[in-house]
Amino acid sequence: MSEKPKILFVCDSPTTVDALLGPGAEAYDVIVVSNPMRALATLTRTPVEGVYIAKDYVQRAVQIGKLLQNEQILDGMPDGVVLLDSENTILWANERVHRWSGVDPLNGANFYTALGSPEILGPDFCPFHTALATGNASSSTLRASDNRYFQVHAAPVREVGSPARQLIVTVRDVTREMLQQQKLAAIHQAGLELADLSPDELSQMSVRERIELLKSNILHFTKDLLNFDVVEIRLLDTKTSRLEPLLSEGMEPEAATRVLFAQPQNNGVTGFVAATGKSYLCEDTTEDPLYLSGARGAKSSLTVPLIFHDDVIGTFNVESPEPRAFSESDLQFLEIFTRDVAVALNTLELLVAEKASTAAESVEAIHSAVALPVDEILNEAVNVMERYIGHEPEVVEQLQKILRNARDIKQVIQSVGQKMTPVAAHPVVLPVDERPGLEGRRVLVVDEDSSVRGAAHALLERFGCVVETAPNGSQAVFMVRNMLAEGGYDVIITDIRLPDSTGFDFMLKLQEILERPDVPLVLMTGFGYDPGHSIVKARQAGLQAVLYKPFRLDQLLDVVEQIIGVPGPA
């Protein structure tokens, strides 16, 4: 008995089939689908004798057919294109995906299986499910077992009046980009390890041993990570402009000892790079007039400057026996690596000097780096406390403890730093401008600009003030209210224009919190800038002082002393 001929109907209802075929419907194997995408999916798996498309579906079917049947366009794309159903089954794929998968036949296969069951790296770990469930496109990165990486972008095929059931997925091979990212990360980690020496190790090593360790690390990472066998590093003597050899591996002896200066002419590529601060890619040494012979048989070279704080401190040169051996990626990788080399060289130089002033500066730098993050901790803790006051006393008590500990951090750092700093780091002559009345005074600085808040720490803490900051008026209000239990702030300095209020409005809020008109407030403003006449209104309401930007340190200190009512320096 022969199989019934199959006919595919693309229509809304089986009643359409009955109307068309009538009693003869029993002679056919009828397949009914409700949209053109499902029809195309059926056609990829099931041979049919005929297709009927209802009038309402003709235009959509033509558009989809044009998209998927024009394989000359899709097969020529550098990316893969796949049509998936809701079960991640491939309904159609272009030639690129066929080549990547090696699966035949590909239609009907599971998408992930066809690509070798890759690991999903995110950010969306269920991109196809997300796209179908939300109706929005979703993306993710896949890692195949052969260390290939694919980026997939799934877009739902929208259907009027019904949820999406198919996805158009584009697949891009991002292996090269991902491997470059991994290499960049490895280079960065290598740079961190170049001069990663513990204090105990340093104390037991001579200057020469430190330098030799650094040279050994540089050679190790240059060969194993960057795959460069010939390496030359020279350091710039700023007094003589001479480029002194530090490290030479694979260079001819006469080249390694050649006298070179940081000059763009007659000093080879190395002198040019040191003089200009620009990297130089020599693709063919036989045709480059700047190149001076270095490694035996070298046909190409790559030279980059060692730069620290925008100053050239030396050069880093690699060479190859192959012409055009170095690419733009090699240049990028070497420039990144040499930044860390420059930092490591400078670090060792500072360690060699072991100046007491360096120790003092380090303590101050640590304190400066900690100040604003600690302020953020205070701000966040006070924010949370505001929400819990009156509800959960235990939470409030715990937050109060966090606040006390956070406030102690800066003081502990300052105290420990003073004990650790060598005596020679302290100036022999005490500053003339002593201000003992500022010692221990609490100051709150309110300004949207983080540099202003940082400067407040640096300037006022030098004279013993305990400085805290806030970025806006609302946060400052929370800080003021919380500090009442500790006796309040001695001085509050705020910018006249805050992100969420004016200086005058902030002053009125302080008067309400402190329950007095004479709040210890200082308004900061630029010369001639008084939006909304805040200063005039604030003065009428009892404002005690104004600071006009830019102000000198002595003006800041004088105003603070004025507010707290202590005499200035004699």
Q: Are 544 and 522 in contact (CB under 8 A)?
A: yes
Instruction: Please return the burial class of 423, using the count of CB atoms within 10 Å of its CB with bins 0-12, 13-18 and 19+.
Output: exposed
Residue 549's nearest CA partner among 518, 528, 570 is 528
What local confidence, expressed as pLDDT, does residue 372 receive?
79
- CB proximity list for 49: less than 8 A, separation 6 or greater: 5, 6, 7
What local confidence, expressed as pLDDT, does residue 291 receive?
93
SS3 246: strand
Q: How many CB atoms lie within 10 A of CB 409?
A: 15
For residues 366 and 389, give the distance between their C-alpha atoms in angstroms, rounded to a whole number: 34
Q: Compute CA distances 174 → 24, 127, 178, 226, whole Å.
A: 55, 17, 6, 21
SS3 535: helix
What local confidence, expressed as pLDDT, does residue 8 receive?
75
What local confidence, expressed as pLDDT, does residue 1 receive?
44
Under CATH, what is the fold of the domain 186-353? Answer: Beta-Lactamase (3.30.450)
Listed ranges 34-48, 144-158, 387-401; the one with the highest mean pLDDT: 144-158
pLDDT tens column, 43-68: 656 677 676 666 666 655 555 555 44
- Tokens 């650094």 correspond to 214
pLDDT tens column, 210-269: 667 667 777 776 766 667 788 898 988 888 999 998 888 889 999 999 999 999 999 999
Query: Which CATH number describes the domain made up of 356-564?
Result: 3.40.50.2300
- Residue range 74-173 forms a domain whose CATH class is alpha beta
Is a pLDDT exceeding 70 seen at residue 5? yes
Q: Compute CA distances 431 → 356, 446, 451, 559, whole Å.
A: 18, 29, 25, 20
Is a pLDDT exceeding 80 seen at residue 163? no
Of 404 and 518, the structure prediction assigns the larger pLDDT to 518
Give the pTM.
0.40
Is a pLDDT exceeding 50 seen at residue 357? no
Torsion angle defined by CA atoms of residues 36, 42, 43 and 45, in that order, rounded to the nearest 10 degrees: 160
Of 361 and 383, the structure prediction assigns the larger pLDDT to 383
Omega before residue 471 within 30° of 0, cis: no
What local confidence, expressed as pLDDT, does residue 474 receive?
92
Q: Are 491 and 444 in contact (CB under 8 A)?
A: yes
Residue 285 DSSP class: T
Angle at 293 between CA 288 and CA 296, to 5 degrees: 120
Residue 233's nearest CA partner among 260, 265, 263, 208 is 260
What local confidence, expressed as pLDDT, does residue 427 receive?
36
What local confidence, expressed as pLDDT, does residue 534 receive?
73
